[in-house]
Amino acid sequence: MSYFRATDPFPLESAEHTKLHEFYARLAVGRLATTRCATCRRLAWPPRAFCGECGSDRFDWVDLSGEGKIHAFTIQEVGLPAGFVGPRVFAIVKVDGLRVFSVLVDAEPAKVAIGQTVRLSPLRVADDPNGNARWLPAFRLA
Amino acid sequence: MRKVALIGAGVSKFGVRKASYRDLIWEAGKACFDAAPAVKPKDVEGLVVGSVMPERTAFQSHISSMAAEALGIRPSALSARTEHMCASGTVGIRYAYAFIAAGLADLVMVLGVEKLNQPSGDEAILNMGTGVDREWEASFGLTAPPCFALAAQCHIAEYGTTEEQLAMVGVKNHTHAAKNPNAHFQRGATLEQVLGSRMISSPLRLFMCSPITDGAAAVLIASEERARALTDKPVWIRGTGQALDGFQLTSLHEDYAHWPALARAAQSAYGMAGVRPQDVDVAEVHDCFAIAELIAYEELGFCPKGEAGAFVADGRSDYGGDVVVNPRGGLIGCGHPLGATGVAQAAEVFAQLRGEAGARQVPDASIGLTHNNSGMGEHVVMIYGRERR
Ligand SMILES: [Zn+2]
């Protein structure tokens, strides 16, 4: 079945590719950040370079606590896209009042429950085509 | 606005097909023209094609022109492709409806087509990740099953909905599909089979999920004057609504058991049609997963919030109940060739309201509804009537 080819599933995180590079730079050193609109002060998740509330494109970076609670979760056993393996724990995590979608790494499925405390655990994924390291904002049980 | 009606409809065989993308277009087009013998391809003024991922699965874009040529249609008023993930087909029907209602066209075909098993279902699973946010969701490996599984978890926690009730949606729709020769699955299913099937994403098991399916469907839509000239049994578009809560999972209602956009889309459609939920005789709803059908009962107003589990368990969404939901077998039984699904739903309502649905006929069906969604936060509702109003 050589016809099938997967494309790169991860974002291009470097400064020349995204206005959100600062998010990934902080994530690489273990910090969870997001944007706050510089005009109306609205805190966003995920970070954004244009405010859908007031129309401003000025924003500041704000560090979040990196600790949250499981708001909802499901465990996918099979049927994941190429390159991802089950069982995989997908979760909505409440962090500083924001809802963050993520995965729980190294979690024993039977031990996951709503309300549990989780902590940011940056997940290193494949380097980008230019050899830059890439990270995703994953969590693990605290 | 002018009145608008369906005057023909047809579907290809759905399944894991040994057929090309163009083969599927030919099959649905042929079936649709056969249902409207007064119409020849050269009479059709416009074509809208709903298709989600042909760039990868057929390595083909420029879809509407390709399909027009395949079917001998020479658009003079409208030619477009709609891509709105799983609701692409119904979004296409809305385009054609608006063009005709506004007087910009008189006779338009809407065709939905998807070739997903090309060459294997893995290709489709990979591509389903393009329907959620690449940077913040699909990068984690998210596709549709975990999204709807989260909704099921919420519905179970909040309303006491049971796995058996979720499974009953699978039983009902697999049973209906057994009477539909074009369905992907034709063997029916028992409660034991559904509950014993493989866990996909907790609590959704295989037989509570729609499969990866190839297929196509087409409808012919006309202005009142043209419709009356071409058929003595037009099926009228009475109402339509579309609404969005959000795109990313974290933009939706905090409680995933609530889909306010579906309620708003339904209100628009009911209001325009001048009908109430209890007037609907037959409904084709978007059961991509069993939980979606349950939440649709509630948001469409077929039952109060939280009571959908009992509604299916008591047979109220089946023949002899309040409203027959998914008589063709739904997405669970027919399969879900994304762009084709909304058009196939319309084709089923067309057959039902004309009394031509054979073994699946809902007795004396007069008002039909279709519901097509693109994820939990984006919904399209259409209401059709045997009478023009
Ligand atoms: Zn702002």
Neighboring chain A residues of B198 at a CB cutoff of 8 Å: 77-78
Residue length of chain A: 142
Same domain, B298 and B318: yes
The average confidence (pLDDT) of chain B is 97
Instruction: Grade residue A1 by pLDDT with cuts at 50, 70 and 90.
Output: very low
**Token digits for A9?**
């599933």
Same domain, B184 and B255: yes
- Number of CB atoms found within 10 A of residue A29's CB: 8
Same domain, B77 and B155: no
Return the residue of A nearest to B149 by Cα: A74
Contacts of B133 (CB under 8 A, 6+ apart): B247, B248
Return the residue of A nearest to B135 by Cα: A11
- Chain A / chain B CB contacts < 8 angstroms: 103
What is the Å distance from ligand 1's center to A21 Cα?
Answer: 20
Contacts of B183 (CB under 8 A, 6+ apart): B14, B177, B328, B329, B333, B334, B335
Greatest C-alpha distance within chain A = 53
Q: Tell me the C-alpha to C-alpha distance, in Å, between residue B232 and each of A19, B219, B252, B389.
A: 59, 16, 44, 16
Same domain, B225 and B195: no
Residue B338: domain span: 142-209+238-385
Q: Does the annotation mark B336 as catalytic? A: yes
**A72 touches B at CB < 8 Å:** yes
Considering the domain boundaries, does residue B137 fall inside one? no
Considering the domain boundaries, does residue B285 fall inside one? yes
Same domain, B103 and B186: no
What is the Å distance from ligand 1's center to B264 Cα?
Answer: 27
Of chain A, the end-to-end C-alpha distance in Å amounts to: 42
**Token digits for A35?**
């944007």
Looking at the DSSP bridge assignments, the partners of residue B114 are B215
Contact A101/B128, CB-based, under 8 Å?
no
> Model-level pTM greater than 0.95?
yes
Let me know the angle formed at the C-alpha of B231 by B74 and B71, rounded to the nearest 5 degrees: 25
Tell me if residue A41 falls in helix, strand or coil: coil
Q: Which of B174, B258, B336, B371 is catalytic?
A: B336
Same domain, B242 and B364: yes
B348 has pLDDT over 70 = yes
Neighboring chain B residues of A4 at a CB cutoff of 8 Å: 119-120, 122-123, 126
Looking at the DSSP bridge assignments, the partners of residue A127 are none
So what's the pLDDT on residue B186? 95
Considering the domain boundaries, does residue B128 fall inside one? no
**A84 touches B at CB < 8 Å:** yes
User: Contact at 8 Å (CB) between B346 and B187?
Assistant: no
Can you tell me the ipTM of this complex? Answer: 0.96
From the CA of A45, how many Å to the nearest CA of chain B?
Answer: 8
Write out pLDDT tens, residues B269-328.
999 999 999 999 999 999 999 999 999 999 999 999 999 999 999 999 999 999 999 999
Same domain, B277 and B375: yes
Amino acid at B363: P
Same domain, B186 and B263: yes
Same domain, B176 and B112: no
Neighboring chain B residues of A68 at a CB cutoff of 8 Å: none
Considering the domain boundaries, does residue B134 fall inside one? no
Considering the domain boundaries, does residue B135 fall inside one? no
Considering the domain boundaries, does residue B175 fall inside one? yes
**Strands, DSSP E only, in B89-176?**
107-114
Same domain, B85 and B186: no
A2 has pLDDT over 90 = no
What is the Å distance from ligand 1's center to A51 Cα?
Answer: 5
Considering the domain boundaries, does residue B345 fall inside one? yes
So what's the pLDDT on residue B289? 98
A24 has pLDDT over 50 = yes
By the 10 Å C-beta count (0-12 exposed, 13-18 middle, 19+ buried), B225 is classed as exposed
So what's the pLDDT on residue A4? 61
- Mean pLDDT to the nearest integer, B228-243: 98
Cα–Cα distance measured from residue A14 to residue A17, given in angstroms and rounded to the nearest whole number: 5
Instruction: Grade residue A82 by pLDDT with cuts at 50, 70 and 90.
Output: confident
Considering the domain boundaries, does residue B195 fall inside one? yes
So what's the pLDDT on residue A5? 66
Same domain, B318 and B196: yes
Let me know the angle formed at the C-alpha of B180 by B177 and B181, rounded to the nearest 5 degrees: 125
**A83 touches B at CB < 8 Å:** yes
The domain that holds B94 is classified in CATH as: 3.40.47.10
Please state the domain count of chain B.
2
Same domain, B149 and B13: no
A3 has pLDDT over 80 = no
* Runs of H (alpha helix) within B116-162: 121-128, 144-159
- Which residues lie near ion ligand 1 (Cβ < 5 Å)? A 37, 39-40, 42, 51, 53-54, 56
Q: Does the annotation mark B288 as catalytic? A: no
Q: Which of B32, B86, B209, B303 is catalytic?
A: B86
H/E segment holding residue B316: none
Write out pLDDT tens, residues B248-270.
999 999 999 999 999 999 999 99
Contact B200/A75, CB-based, under 8 Å?
no
So what's the pLDDT on residue B126? 87
